[in-house]
Chains A and B, each alone.
Chain A
């Protein structure tokens, strides 16, 4: 026994003289750390109701619920997370996974409420003391639970492509596609925005599972043109994609293409289970005007229901604007054929070189068929009507593109000016640039638009790629006059365009006549939009048909006109793009089936 062991413990009294550690009013004197995982906050302006928080919560503490004042719109489900504090463990995984960064936490420690129900609340809506608190846990930019970077799509280099019509985009291989598919949150936000409401997360999940046949079947549930759409779809879904809020949206279009590319034509019927459809069972027939996406989509869905379908098409081949408008370097003809040959093989008849209204009347179709679907598209060029626009060396973009697709030679000039700032203008620019390069070994084409570069309607990548191919894009000018000397074009006079739309958003361009430019040219192409040609409607039909704004045929939500037998869709109603055509065709097909079978018990399964 040591004396020290007896005396030393008495030093316990030393501490009695020390300042106490306790805090008088801890709630106020000692707020939570800057990074504290306290009660949840949600910024409704940022939240898109994607439900990733709900999906990740391992305690099932989150439910997405409708909230008054929040509406469903593109890229936003309108739902908001409700959190149950009887389940939450404050792990903040929901915060880390939230793609918008809207969900955060406060640094508050305590919450006293009378009723247990109150602890189930909607952050951002339920009034709380901490919604405005600056401090608290936020998603760190340094951690990566979700991949916000797209798998790069390889393309043919500009110098390799500017002389040829070879397809630019190479497509994903399996590894790339699976990696890209991995990024999807499976939130389904995109589905509402896709005009055809394709089940995007489902076919992407099938890619991840490497079950391409299933993915392919999912595509065909709502879209019979996957090779086409997989290449040139306007991909509105991607703009809505939840990932877009914190990085690059999912490459939904390229993944669709990947799926379709994996299935060879000869396996289509087997994979889609349409091997034994050949004889129409229902005994009713439908005429379709126009073999564009809308007509073909309607034909497909009607054909698999057992109807007999005949398409009347003015041009020598199918596809409408996808073949006769969209250039081959974006959409090769064999890919159009792959989609459409399969539909033909289901017994859909296509009669080409037959213009309804000229070679056969609509009245006759009405008489011979149980219903008619018209998807005749926008094929009339629109003119600027400026002085000189009537010269024979002034063309419409769509006319030239059609000639190229038909294989006819175009008299390409050495200096060309294109008027227009949309995708069609880019298509004609890049097409003519290739032809110039082939003919003259150099490219001298300039494209000008009313819109300044930031509001040019063309897709950004189209502008970039056109420039890579050495076309000059000079936006923000209003065309004034095409100068003609001795019947020959000298060039285009333009003045500065200050604004295109007025305060109410109407088209009402303002110019500054003092700022001028002259673009030298011996050929001018106008690409400022297309109009419809409804001349196939006889006077009799026209007078009975109801029309809506801008000369469009009025249709109900099923694309049925007031003449019950006539259904109309595609560019002449909505769009203009392929996927709207596909969607309209699908809905119209279902509606035609309903219309024809309303009082018909004969219908066999």
Chain B
């Protein structure tokens, strides 16, 4: 229990000196020695978040080295966009994150708006805020089920994924799509809220809160959960800068970083929102923090529902999208996804097609360099829990 608690703030260089031997800063792993075994976790494995794989070197049941292997779902989104008109990009980018597509939709539109000086109408801003916060709820629910599942608590996954479906119902009403919403378009959003939407959303918030009480009782106040997650995957405050860690992973290590608060976009500046942090630094602290943020998101959704103006434009007038040219320039826009800072860098050469789009997802850091470090010296039975505790999302790595 709490295997790593003694070396909580020592980093793992000390541990790495145990196994295997280090030479020129690299572990010497001689598989022929029969001391180590190499096994693959993923890409087809229930304990992997999406299509990626961990190449694990184990000694007994202890992981001594790991490599994150990607390349299973590369669809070249960034490159595709270079061959698409600006308006044709929004149906592409949502695919960069299945559980939380909306951050991508927001960023790509906001980048175009920024470059071309389009001002998004007030109401559309509110609808975007609603959409973004709802997507955070959906993503957290899915993650929560995953975290519970990763330590064998399948029931909670059933509950949260079931509840997420009700949120997808709301998305379906609002956007016309359940998973890929394609709701935000340059200039604003595509549809106003349907009649009665707000009431149904408020009702769902109540139902979700009720479920979360169940989850608090069964998951967070649970000796097994605590024993498995506490002390797992410690991110020291120093590591936050060293690795470029963002989002809940950073906040659970005491770092006050949340773009919604530090650099408010859409209507976040007009909401009552407080930074949530913790000093726990481990997987349990991250889980608890995400749980708090889920409750906060539910609160934000109801705040937004109260504030959306009844009347108003939902989209700024665009030039004919078939020939829309954006003035030459470059921009970086960012938003807070449930995994942290999510950003789009966009370059326009003044033509009808983006010259370069770069999508920055938090998982690039979290699932590669960070995970490869944190996985060393843990038990193989904890790799899934560790991975989920970093909330990694492979399509974000492979854009």
B373 interface residue per 8 A CB criterion: no
A241 within 8 A of B: no
For chain B, residues 256 to 311, give those with C-beta under 8 angstroms from any C-beta of chain A: none
Other-chain residue from B180, B194, B218, B317 in contact with A8 (beta carbon distance below 8 A): B218
Q: State the CA gap A91–B321 with chains docked (Å).
A: 15
Does the CB pair B221–A142 fall under 8 Å? no
Whether, in the assembled complex, B244 has its beta carbon less than 8 Å from a beta carbon of chain A, the answer is no
Contact of A143 with B185 in the complex, beta carbons under 8 Å: yes
In the assembled complex, how far is the CB of residue B119 from the closest CB belonging to chain A, in whole angstroms?
14
B226 at the interface (CB under 8 A from A): yes
Q: Nearest CB to that of A149 among chain B residues?
A: B317
In the complex, whether A37 has a CB less than 8 A from a CB of chain B is yes
A2 CA / B220 CA spacing, docked (Å): 12
- Chain A, residue nearest B175 (CB): A35
Interchain nearest-CB distance for B323 vs A (Å): 6
The residues of B that contact A597 with a CB separation of less than 8 Å are none
Q: Does B87 belong to the interface (CB within 8 Å)?
A: yes
Query: Contact between B221 and A182 (Cβ–Cβ < 8 Å)?
Result: no
Interface flags for A40-60 (1: CB within 8 Å of B; 0: not) read 000000000000100110110
A15-B159, A144-B315 in contact; A89/B91 too (CB < 8 A)?
A: yes
Rounded to whole angstroms, the CA-CA distance of A555 and B188 in the bound complex is 58
Are B320 and A56 in contact, with the CB atoms below 8 A? no
Contact A33 B173 (CB under 8 A): yes
Contact A186 B173 (CB under 8 A): no
Q: Are A58 and B91 in contact (CB under 8 A)?
A: yes
In the complex, A12→B180 CA distance in Å? Answer: 32
On whether the beta carbons of B88 and A147 are closer than 8 Å, the reply is: no
Find out whether the CB atom of B176 lies under 8 angstroms from the CB atom of A37. yes
A92: nearest chain-B partner, CB-CB: B176
Contact of B313 among A1, A58, A96, A142 (CB under 8 A): A142
Given contacts A58-B84, A93-B91, A97-B321, contact A4 B173 (CB under 8 A): no
Q: Which of A5, A14, A55, A143 contacts B322 (CB 8 A)?
A: A55
Chain A, residue nearest B316 (CB): A144
Interface size on B, residues (CB 8 A): 49
B176 and A143 within 8 A (CB)? no
Query: Once the chains bind, are A56 and B88 in contact (CB under 8 Å)?
Result: yes
Q: Which residues of A contact B219 (CB under 8 A)?
A: 9
Do the beta carbons of A208 and B323 come within 8 Å of each other? yes
CB distance from B369 to the nearest CB of A (A): 33
Give the chain A neighbours of B319 by CB distance below 8 A: 147, 182
Point out the residues of chain A lying under 8 angstroms from B217, CB to CB.
8-9, 11-12
Contact residues, A1-50 vs B (CB, 8 A):
1-2, 4-6, 8-9, 11-12, 14-15, 21, 32-37
Let me know if B155 and A36 touch, CB within 8 A: no
Q: Can you list, as one digit per residue, whether each of A111-138 has a CB less than 8 Å from chain B (1) or not (0)? A: 0000000000000000000000000010
Q: A5-B226, A33-B176, A93-B91 are in contact. Are A143 and B320 (CB under 8 A)?
A: no
Residues of A contacting B317 in the complex (Cβ-Cβ under 8 angstroms) = 144, 147
Within B165-215, which residues are at the interface with A (CB < 8 Å)?
165-166, 169, 172-177, 180, 182, 185, 187-188, 190-192, 194, 214
A263 interfacial by beta-carbon distance below 8 Å: no
Q: Is A237 an interface residue (CB 8 A)?
A: no
Cβ–Cβ < 8 Å partners of B322 in chain A: 52, 55-56, 97, 146, 185-186
Residues of chain A with a CB closer than 8 A to B187's CB: 143-144
Nearest-CB distance from B290 to chain A (Å)?
19
Residues of B contacting A90 in the complex (Cβ-Cβ under 8 angstroms): 177
Question: What A residues does B92 contact at CB under 8 A?
Answer: 58
CB–CB A91/B182 < 8 A: yes
The complex places the Cα of A90 from the Cα of B191 at a distance, in Å, of: 16
Is the C-beta of B314 less than 8 angstroms from some C-beta in chain A? yes
Q: Mark B219-241, 1 if CB is under 8 A from A, else 0.
A: 10111101000000000000000
Q: Is A563 in the interface zone, CB < 8 Å from B? A: no
Is B318's CB within 8 Å of the partner chain A?
yes
Asked whether B314 lies within 8 Å of A9 as measured between CB atoms, the reply is: no
Contacting pair B320 A184 (CB below 8 A): yes
B218 touches A11 (CB 8 A): yes
CA distance A55 to B316 in the complex (A): 22
In Å, the complex CA distance between A166 and B316 comes to 40
Distance between B59 CB and nearest chain A CB, rounded to angstroms: 30
- B162 nearest in chain A by CB position: A21
Check if A93 sits within 8 Å of B173, measured CB to CB.
no
For the complex with contacts A21-B162, A143-B187, 7 further pairs of A-B residues with Cβ separation under 8 Å are A8-B217, A9-B217, A15-B155, A15-B214, A105-B176, A144-B315, A147-B320
Q: Which 4 A-B pairs have the closest CB atoms?
A: A91-B91, A58-B88, A8-B221, A5-B223
Q: Which residues of A contact B (CB under 8 A)?
A: 1-2, 4-6, 8-9, 11-12, 14-15, 21, 32-37, 52, 55-56, 58-59, 89-93, 96-97, 105, 137, 140, 142-147, 182-186, 208
What residues make up the interface of B, taking CB atoms closer than 8 Å to A? 84-85, 87-92, 155, 159, 162, 165-166, 169, 172-177, 180, 182, 185, 187-188, 190-192, 194, 214, 217-219, 221-224, 226, 313-323
